[in-house]
């Protein structure tokens, strides 16, 4: 029987739908005031319900909302370890992870985002392997599974027996991120079960060479030529989408969601609530998004303001995907991890990606 630690960050990802781009520090309090709801319980439940080897697992679980409240009555053998107060912090994560290390766990499952990954690295380093359930806003580190179901399969694979590999943990400056600047550095490495197909890749930055820049202009020309009056366009993050607004001589929130209607920006850095208000007002809507370089995610990483509710309202047929040819060469497929399995399944399948002027590529969306 494998002894597996389990810790969740109960505030991870809460800044996504409200457009705060993270919950580091006290930002989560602002997220709560804006109506954000916890998402990690649902993500952990998804993992627990997909584990096939539960009879071969004994869990050491963080107390209360950091794990035990969710594991209870799920049919797992487990003990609770450590204590927490009403509010939790990074220090709780580090302290409990160290306690689990002292109990000689075989594996540590954690649920959170890049900030939680940094906390786990600080606590255990490379001493024990981990499985990371993606539950934050950004999640650019390559330690994360593709989704909770993939994380469950990684745990099952570890229980059956597999080797490990080291994957990167990135330090993302959230203050810079909120200002539209992606300021990242390598923070360290964590060991993960060696199941490459179940892991996301690390984010690759956009190329700024002349060819890539020209390619983005071509994409912008194609999109603008096909834009129609009286349609609301929700413009996703990234430099490829920004090339479209640049060509329209409109400002763009580089790492946020903006809205354009009849060649005017009518919404900037929108959160879920702001987008839903626009959807109540405008009947014809299209979403324009670009996949994250190296990862291929079009929803679920860095644009969580575009929630499952919004995606369903807009409809798959009204989603346009844009990407440079170089970016698509580096991707085996596109991916989605919206937080709603039914929405993920709706989005799956073959789709068109605009890669130039009147130039499209057929590729597959997987979960």
| pLDDT of residue 286 exceeding 70 | yes
Percent of the chain with pLDDT over 90: 74
pLDDT tens for 128-139 read 999 999 998 777
2-198 — its CATH code? Answer: 3.40.50.10330
Per the confidence metrics, is the pTM higher than 0.85? no
Between 224 and 28, name the one with better pLDDT. Answer: 224
Tell me if 365 sits within 8 A of 335, measured CB to CB. Answer: yes
Tell me if 237 sits within 8 A of 254, measured CB to CB. Answer: yes
- Domain locations along the chain: 2-198, 210-366
Q: Which two tokens stand for residue 228?
A: 């129609």
Q: Which residues pair with 363 in a beta bridge?
A: 351
Phi/psi of residue 297, nearest 5 degrees: -75, 130
Q: What is the Cα Rg of the chain in Å?
A: 21
| pLDDT of residue 87 exceeding 90 | no
| pLDDT of residue 206 exceeding 80 | no
Tell me if 239 sits within 8 A of 324, measured CB to CB. Answer: no
Between 185 and 163, name the one with better pLDDT. Answer: 163
Tell me if 27 sits within 8 A of 136, measured CB to CB. Answer: no
- CA–CA separation, 260 vs 252, rounded Å? 10
| Least confident piece of the model among 55-59, 86-90, 146-150, 266-270 | 86-90
- CA–CA separation, 130 vs 124, rounded Å? 10
Q: What is the pLDDT of residue 220?
A: 96
Neighbours of 124 (CB within 10 A): 22
Average predicted confidence (pLDDT) for the chain: 90
pLDDT tens for 3-48 read 999 999 998 877 666 666 555 656 656 666 676 677 889 999 999 9
Question: What Cα–Cα distance (Å) separates residue 314 from each residue in 275, 282, 329?
Answer: 11, 11, 28
| pLDDT of residue 171 exceeding 60 | yes
Class of domain 210-366: alpha beta
Q: One fold for both 2-198 and 210-366? A: yes
């Amino acid at each position: 029987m494998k002894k597996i630690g389990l810790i969740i960050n109960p505030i991870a990802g809460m800044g996504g739908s409200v457009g705060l781009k993270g919950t580091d520090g006290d930002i989560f309090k602002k997220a709560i005031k804006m109506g954000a709801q916890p998402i990690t319980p649902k993500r952990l439940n998804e993992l627990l319900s997909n584990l096939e080897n539960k009879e071969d697992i004994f869990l050491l679980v963080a107390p209360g909302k950091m794990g035990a409240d969710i594991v209870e009555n799920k049919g797992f053998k487990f003990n609770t370890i450590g204590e927490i107060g009403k509010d939790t912090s990074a220090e709780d994560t580090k302290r409990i992870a160290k306690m689990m290390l002292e109990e000689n766990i075989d594996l540590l499952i954690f649920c959170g985002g890049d900030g939680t990954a940094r906390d786990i690295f600080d606590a255990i380093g490379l001493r024990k392997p981990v499985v990371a359930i993606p539950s934050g806003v950004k999640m650019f580190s390559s330690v994360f599974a593709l989704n909770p179901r993939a994380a469950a399969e990684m745990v099952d694979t570890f229980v059956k027996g597999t080797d490990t590999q080291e994957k990167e943990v990135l330090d993302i400056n959230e203050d810079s991120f909120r200002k539209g600047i992606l300021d990242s550095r390598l923070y360290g490495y964590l060991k993960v079960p060696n199941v490459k197909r179940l892991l996301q890749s690390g984010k690759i930055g956009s190329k700024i060479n002349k060819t890539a820049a020209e390619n983005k202009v071509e994409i912008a020309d194609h999109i603008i030529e096909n834009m129609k009056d009286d349609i609301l366009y929700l413009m996703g993050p990234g430099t490829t989408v920004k090339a479209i607004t640049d060509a329209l001589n409109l400002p763009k929130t580089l790492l946020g969601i903006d809205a354009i209607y009849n060649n005017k920006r009518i919404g900037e850095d929108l959160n879920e609530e702001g987008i839903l208000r626009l959807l109540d007002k405008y009947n014809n809507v299209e979403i324009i998004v670009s996949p994250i370089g190296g990862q291929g995610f079009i929803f679920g990483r860095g644009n969580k303001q575009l929630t499952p509710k919004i995606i369903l309202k807009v409809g798959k047929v009204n989603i346009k995907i844009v990407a440079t040819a170089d970016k698509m060469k580096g991707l085996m497929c596109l991916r989605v991890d919206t937080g709603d399995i039914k929405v993920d399944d709706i989005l799956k399948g073959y789709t068109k990606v605009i890669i130039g002027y009147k130039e499209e590529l057929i590729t597959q969306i997987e979960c």
